[in-house]
C-alpha cells in the first residue's frame, strides 16, 4: 500500500514526508483494519511533521481524521463487521484504570496514545484502530466532509465547552481554519453571537457567510465585549488581545496542542475581574459521540479542499502557508 511517513521532521515547504510502499498492516486482536476513504489534514499533523511536537514514533504516518471502511476485524472484536463505515480520531487508546479515566477525563490519561503520533495514521491507503476507539458516523455527509469532523469538529466542540459560553452569549473566535469554522456553526446553532478574528481575508469572508456577526484582523478588537473566546491559531501573541477583549467573568480557551510563547500578561488588563485562561487537551470519546450527534441533528457546512493522497506534502505546505480555507482533505 502507499503511505507517507515523517522521515525528516522540518518545515513543510522542505518536504518532511516520504512516500513508501509497504505491506498492508495486520490488525491486532482488539483492532479493526480500515481502508482509508478520506483523511483530513489537521494542524496537529503539521506540528508532528515540522517537529513542533516531540517524536513519539520515528517515521510515523500522520493523519487522525480518518473516514474508512472496515476490511477485517481482530479476533476479540465485536460490534463491527467488514463493510462498516467508521471514523478514526486523534485519541487512540487509554489505560482505562487511572484516576482520570475513572472520573471520565480519559483525555488526561498519562498513558494515552494518539493516532498519527504514537501509531500510524491515515496518510495511507489502510490504517488500524482499536475497535473501542472507532467512531460510528452520521449520515448525510460525504466521506470528505466527515473527515474534518473527527478532530477539527470534535476538538472545537470540546474547546467550546471549555470556554463556558453562556447560552445566547458573545463568542470570539481567533483563527478560522478547519476547527474554528465548525465550532462557530455549533455556537451559532445554540444562539450565540460570533465574532471572528483572523488574518486571512478569505477566512473572514467565509466567517461572514456562515453567520458571524463580524470578522476582522487577528489582533483587532471585536465590536463588543466577549463572554467567551477560543484561540484556534497557534499564536501565543494573540492571548493578550483575546483576554483584553473578554467581558468580566469571561473565559478564553486555548484549543491547540501547540502554542508559541505567550507574552507577559498584565494582571489588571488581562486577568482581573475574574477572567479565566484555560487550556484544552485532546477530547474524550464521550465528547466525540456528543459532537457527532450534534452534527447529525444540525447539518454543518464543512468547507473542504481536496488533495490526492500523493499530494500530502503539498497539502501540509499549503496549510503551513495559510493557503487553505476550511479543511484540507486527502482522498486516496
CB count in 10 Å sphere of residue 319: 22
CATH classification at residue 37: 3.90.180.10
CA angle 53/285/134 to nearest 5° reads 85
Residues 179 and 288 in one domain: no
pLDDT value of residue 58: 96
Which pLDDT band, with edges at 50, 70 and 90, does 284 fall under? very high
Q: Mapped to the 3 state alphabet, what secondary structure does 25-81 carry?
A: CCCCCCEEEEEEEEEEECHHHHHHHHCCCCCCCCCCCCCCCEEEEEEEECCCCCCCC
Residues 35 and 181 in one domain: no
CA Rg value for the chain: 19
Per-residue pLDDT at 75: 96
What average pLDDT is seen over the chain? 96
pLDDT tens per residue, range 129-180: 999 999 999 999 999 999 999 999 999 999 999 999 999 999 999 999 889 9
247-262 tens-digit pLDDT: 999 999 999 889 999 9
Domain count, the chain: 2
Torsion over CA: 234, 239, 245, 251 (sign): positive
Residues 194 and 271 occupy one common structural domain:
yes
The label of the residue with cell 473566546 reads 229
Same domain for 194 and 313, yes or no, is no
Q: What is the pLDDT of residues 52-74, one digit of tens each?
A: 999 999 999 999 999 999 999 99
Residues 204 and 193 reside in one and the same domain: yes
CB atoms closer than 10 angstroms to residue 55: 12
Cell of 199: 488574518
Asked if 33 and 177 sit in the same domain, the reply is no
What is the domain extent for residue 199?
Answer: 154-279
Same domain as 206, residue 122 = no
Shared domain for 268 and 173, answered yes or no, is yes
Query: Do 6 and 127 reside in the same domain of the chain?
Result: yes
Place of cell 482533505: 329
> Are residue 9 and residue 106 in the same domain, yes or no?
yes
CA 47/CA 35 separation, integer angstroms:
25
CATH number at residue 241: 3.40.50.720
3-state secondary structure of 318: helix
Q: Is the pTM of this model over 0.85?
A: yes
Both 142 and 185 in one domain: the answer is no
159 in the same domain as 65: no
Amino acid at each position: 500500500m502507499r503511505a507517507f511517513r515523517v522521515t525528516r521532521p522540518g518545515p513543510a515547504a522542505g518536504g518532511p514526508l516520504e512516500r513508501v510502499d509497504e505491506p498492508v498492516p495486520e490488525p491486532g486482536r482488539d483492532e479493526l483494519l480500515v481502508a482509508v476513504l478520506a483523511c483530513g489534514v489537521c494542524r496537529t499533523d503539521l506540528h508532528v511533521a515540522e517537529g513542533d511536537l516531540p517524536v513519539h514514533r520515528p517515521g510515523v504516518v500522520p493523519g487522525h481524521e480518518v473516514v474508512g471502511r472496515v476490511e477485517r476485524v481482530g479476533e476479540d472484536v465485536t460490534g463491527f463487521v467488514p463493510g462498516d463505515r467508521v471514523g478514526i480520531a486523534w485519541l487512540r487508546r487509554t489505560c482505562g484504570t487511572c484516576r482520570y479515566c475513572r472520573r471520565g477525563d480519559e483525555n488526561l490519561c498519562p498513558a494515552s496514545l494518539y493516532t498519527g503520533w504514537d501509531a500510524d495514521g491515515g496518510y495511507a491507503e489502510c490504517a488500524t484502530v482499536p475497535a473501542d476507539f472507532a467512531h460510528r458516523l452520521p449520515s448525510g455527509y460525504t466521506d470528505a466532509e466527515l473527515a474534518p469532523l473527527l478532530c477539527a469538529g470534535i476538538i472545537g466542540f470540546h474547546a467550546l465547552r471549555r470556554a463556558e459560553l453562556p447560552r445566547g452569549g458573545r463568542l470570539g473566535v481567533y483563527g478560522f481554519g478547519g476547527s474554528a469554522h465548525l465550532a462557530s456553526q455549533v455556537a451559532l446553532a445554540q444562539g450565540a453571537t460570533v465574532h471572528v478574528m483572523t488574518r486571512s481575508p478569505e477566512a473572514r469572508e467565509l466567517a461572514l457567510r456562515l453567520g458571524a456577526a463580524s470578522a476582522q484582523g487577528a489582533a483587532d478588537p471585536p465590536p463588543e465585549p466577549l463572554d467567551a473566546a477560543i484561540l484556534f491559531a497557534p499564536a501565543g501573541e494573540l492571548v493578550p488581545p483575546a483576554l483584553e477583549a473578554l467581558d468580566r467573568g469571561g473565559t478564553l480557551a486555548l484549543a491547540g496542542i501547540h502554542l508559541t510563547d505567550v507574552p507577559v500578561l498584565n494582571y489588571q488588563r488581562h486577568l482581573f475581574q475574574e477572567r479565566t485562561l484555560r487550556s484544552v487537551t485532546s477530547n474524550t470519546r464521550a465528547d466525540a459521540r456528543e459532537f457527532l450527534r450534534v452534527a447529525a441533528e444540525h447539518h454543518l457546512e464543512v468547507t473542504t479542499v481536496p488533495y490526492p493522497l500523493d499530494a500530502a506534502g503539498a497539502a501540509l505546505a499549503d496549510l503551513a502557508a495559510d493557503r487553505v480555507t476550511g479543511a484540507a482533505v486527502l482522498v486516496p
